[in-house]
Structure 1
Amino acid sequence: MASQDTEYAPPEMNIENAPAPVTELSPELLAALRKRSDTVLSYLVSTNSVSTFFKESDTLSSFRKALSTEDYSKLPEDLFEVFNSNVELSEYKHYQPFVSRFFEKPCKAADVENLMAPGMPFFIAHSSGTSGGATKHFPKYQHPKHMSTSTAQTMAASNPVSKTGGKNCVVYSLGYREVVAPVDEKDEPVAHMPVCLMSSGTIRMHIGMHQPKDQFYQKIKVPINTSPLAGSFIPDYKSFLFMHGLFALAERQTELINTMFSTIFRDLCRVLIEQYDVMVDCIEKGTIPDLPGTDHVHDNLMQFWKADPERAAELRKITNNTEEEGWLRRLWPGLSIVVAISSGSFGSVLPEITHYMGPEVNLRTLGINCSEAFLALAYDAKDKSLYKVVGSDDIIEYLDIDAPENASGLSPAWEAKIGKKYEVVLTTRDGFWRYRLGDIVEIVGYDPRDGQPIIHYLERRNVHIRLANEITTEAQLSAAVQSVSKELGNVSEFCVMPDYRYTTPRYAFYTETQKDIPGEASVIPAKLHKFLQSANENYLKDSNAGKIAVPSVHVLQPGTFGEYREWKIKTMNISSGQVKVPLVVWDDVTRKWLEEHRVQEVEAASA
Structure 2
Amino acid sequence: LYLASTNSVKEKKEETVESLPGSYRLQARKPVLMATNDYESVLKMLEEITTNARQIQEQLLGEILSKNAETEYLQGFLHGQTDKQLFKKNVPIVTYDHIKPYIDRIANGKASSDILLVEPLIGFSLSSGTSGGQPKLIPITAESANVTAALGNLHLSLMIKHFGDLSQVGKRMELLFAKPDVETPSGLKASAVTTRAFKESSFQAILPKLYTSPYETIFCPDTKQSTYCQLLFGLIQRDEVVVIGSIFAATVLRGIKFIENNWRELCSNIKTGKISDWITDSGCRKAASLILKPNPKLADLLEDTCSCKSWEGIVRKLWPKTKYIGTVCTGAMLQFSAELEFYCGGLPLVSGFYACSEGAIAINIEPLSKPSDVSYTILPNTVYYEFLPIKEDCVTDSQNQVQLNTSRHKDTETVDLVNVKPGQCYEILVTSPTGLYRYRVGDIIKVTGFHNNTPQFQFVGRQNVALGVDMERTSEADILKAVAEAKALLDPFGLILTEYTSYGDTSSTPGHYVIFWEIKPKEGNNNNDNGKELDPKVMEECCSKMEDSLHFTYRMYRKENIIAALEIRVVKQGAFELLLDYFVSNGASLSQYKTPICIKSKEALNILDSRVIAKFFSPRTPIQDN
TM-score range for the pair, normalised by the shorter chain length: 0.7 to 0.9
> Match for 1:312 among 293, 299, 322?
299
For 1:144 and 1:497, the matched residues in 2 are separated by 37
Aligned counterpart for 2:64 among listed residues 44, 59, 62: 44
Confirm or deny: 8 A CA contact 1:123 1:201 kept in the other structure. Answer: no
Match of 1:579 in 2: 593
2:485 is the alignment partner of 1:490 = no
What per-residue deviation string (whole Å, max 9, x for no partner) do you get for residues 112-154 of structure 1?
A: 5445444543332222222663321112111189966435425
Query: Which residue of structure 1 aligns with residue 11 of structure 2?
Result: none
- Which residue identity lines up with residue 522 of structure 1 in the other structure? K
Shift of 1:178: 2.1
Q: Secondary structure at the match of 1:349?
A: helix
Q: How does 1:186-585 map to 2 (within 5 A)?
A: 193-204=188-199, 221-251=207-237, 252-291=239-278, 294-321=281-308, 323-359=310-346, 361-383=347-369, 384=371, 385-402=374-391, 408-448=412-452, 451-488=453-490, 489-500=495-506, 502-515=508-521, 520-522=535-537, 524-525=539-540, 528-529=543-544, 531-532=546-547, 535-570=550-585, 572-585=586-599
Q: Give the drift of 1:355.
A: 1.0
Which residue matches 1:129?
A: 129
| Contact in 2 for aligned 1:220/1:228 (Cα 8 Å) | no
Cα 1:293–1:498 shift into 2, 3 Å = farther
Corresponding residue number in structure 1 for 2:395 = none
Q: Deviations over 1:160-189 (max 9, x none)?
A: 952652111122223324234746xxxxxx
Gap change, CA 1:56 and 1:158, over 3 Å in 2 = farther
Residue identity matched to 2:84? F
Q: Quick check: 494-503 or 273-282, which moved more?
A: 494-503
2:611 aligned residue: 597
- C-alpha spacing 1:100/1:557, structure 2 compared with 1 (3 Å): same
In 1, Cα distance between equivalents of 2:178 and 2:542: 44
Greater alpha carbon shift after TM alignment, 132-141 vs 553-562: 132-141
> Match of 1:281, as an amino acid?
S
CA contact (8 A) 1:240 1:576 kept: no
Aligned to 1:167: 171
Stretch moving more, 283-292 or 364-373: 283-292
Q: Give the structure 2 partner of residue 7 of structure 1.
A: 23
Query: What RMSD in Å do the two structures reach over aligned CA positions?
Result: 3.5
CA apart distance, 1:466:
1.0
Distance in 1 between the 2:474 and 2:335 partners?
18
Distance 1:551 1:14 in 2: 51
Structure 1 residues 139-158: aligned runs within 5 Å? 139-143=139-143, 149-150=150-151, 152-154=153-155
Alignment CA distance shift 1:413-1:293 (3 Å):
farther
Evaluate the alpha carbon distance shift between residue 289 and residue 204 of structure 1 in structure 2; reply closer, same or farther with a 3 A threshold.
same
Q: Output the CA distance in 1 between the equivalents of 2:421 and 2:126.
A: 33
Amino acid at match of 1:578: Q
Equivalent residue letter for 1:422: Y
Distance 1:423 1:574, change over 3 A: closer
Change (3 A) 1:347 1:322: farther
> 2:244–2:326: 8 Å Cα contact kept in structure 1?
yes
Identify if the C-alpha distance between structure 1 residues 301 and 48 changes in structure 2 by more than 3 Å, giving closer, same or farther.
Answer: farther
Q: Which runs of 5+ in 1 are unaligned?
A: 23-27, 68-78, 184-192, 210-216
State the Cα deviation string for residues 380-431 of structure 1 (Å, max 9, x = none): 1232321111221111221101298598421111110111111111111211
Task: Give the drift of 1:443.
Answer: 1.1
- 8 Å Cα contact 1:117/1:430 also seen in 2: yes
Tell me if the contact between 2:501 and 2:595 (Cα under 8 Å) persists in the aligned partners. Answer: yes
TM-score, reference length from structure 2: 0.80
Distance 1:290 1:592 in 2: 32
Q: Does residue 96 of the first structure (1) align with residue 100 of the second (2)? A: yes
Structure having greater relative contact order (Cα 8 Å, sep ≥ 6): 1
Contact 1:400 1:410 in 2 (8 A): yes
Residues 476 and 532 of structure 1 are in contact (CA less than 8 Å); yes or no, is this contact kept in structure 2? Answer: no
Distance 1:9 1:100, change over 3 A: closer
CA, structure 1 residues 147+561, in 2 after alignment: closer, same or farther (shift >3 Å)? Answer: closer
The residue matched to 2:173 in structure 1 has which SS?
Answer: strand
- Structure 1 residues 300-330: Cα deviation after superposition (integer angstroms, max 9, x where no partner): 4533443333322322232243615211111
> 1:270: Cα distance to partner?
0.8
Q: CA deviation at 1:233?
A: 0.2
Moved more, 137-146 or 370-379: 137-146
Distance 1:606 1:539 in 2: 14
Q: Which moved more, 1:111-120 or 1:123-132?
A: 111-120
| TM-score, length-scaled by structure 1 | 0.82
Amino acid of the residue matched to residue 123 of structure 2? F
CA distance in structure 2 between the partners assigned to 1:270 and 1:486 by the alignment: 21
Task: Tell me if the contact between 1:496 and 1:510 (Cα under 8 Å) persists in the aligned partners.
Answer: yes
CA separation of 1:527 and 1:246: change in aligned 2, threshold 3 A: closer
Contact 2:128 2:589 in 1 (8 A): no
Whether the 8 Å CA contact 1:196–1:574 is kept in 2: the answer is: no
Shift of 1:511: 0.7
Could you say what secondary structure the match of 2:84 adopts? helix
CA distance in 2, matches of 1:284, 1:510: 39
| Identity within the alignment, % | 20
Contact preservation (8 Å) 2:543, 2:618: no
Shift of the 480–13 alpha-carbon distance from structure 1 to 2, 3 Å rule, reads farther
Partner residue, 1:75: none
Between the aligned partners of 2:375 and 2:207, the Cα distance in structure 1 is 34
Letter aligned with residue 435 of structure 1: Y
Aligned-pair distance for 1:13? Answer: 12
Q: Deviations over 1:432-468 (max 9, x none)?
A: 01110111111111113xx221111111121211111
> How far is 1:530 from its partner?
5.8
Q: How far is the alpha carbon of 1:519 from its aligned partner?
A: 6.5
How far did residue 155 of structure 1 move? 6.9
* Deviation by residue 1:315-373 (Cα, 9 ceiling, x = unmatched): 223224361521111111101111111112211122221111001x1110122222222
Equivalent residue, structure 2, for 1:212: none
Instruction: Say if 1:419 and 1:604 are closer, same or farther in 2 by CA, change over 3 A.
Output: closer
When residues 533 and 280 of structure 1 are mapped into structure 2, their CA distance, relative to the original with a 3 A threshold, is closer
1:64 pairs, out of 79, 86, 91, with 79
CA shift for structure 1 position 201: 2.2
Distance 1:415 1:429 in 2: 22
**Count of paired positions:** 557
Q: Distance in 2 between matches of 1:353 and 1:31?
A: 36
Q: Deviations over 1:209-235 (max 9, x none)?
A: 7xxxxxxx6x99521211111111012
Cα 1:417–1:93 shift into 2, 3 Å: same
Higher alpha-carbon deviation: 333-342 or 220-229: 220-229
After superposition, what is the alpha-carbon deviation per residue over 1:483-503, rounded to whole angstroms, capped at 9, x for unaligned? 110334332221111234543
Seen in structure 2, the aligned counterparts of structure 1 residues 590 and 293 have a Cα distance that, compared at 3 Å, is farther
Match of 2:33 in 1: none
The AA in structure 1 aligned to 2:576 is: F
What is the alpha-carbon distance in structure 1 between the residues aligned to residue 195 and residue 138 of structure 2? 13
- Contact 2:273–2:292 under 8 Å retained in 1: yes
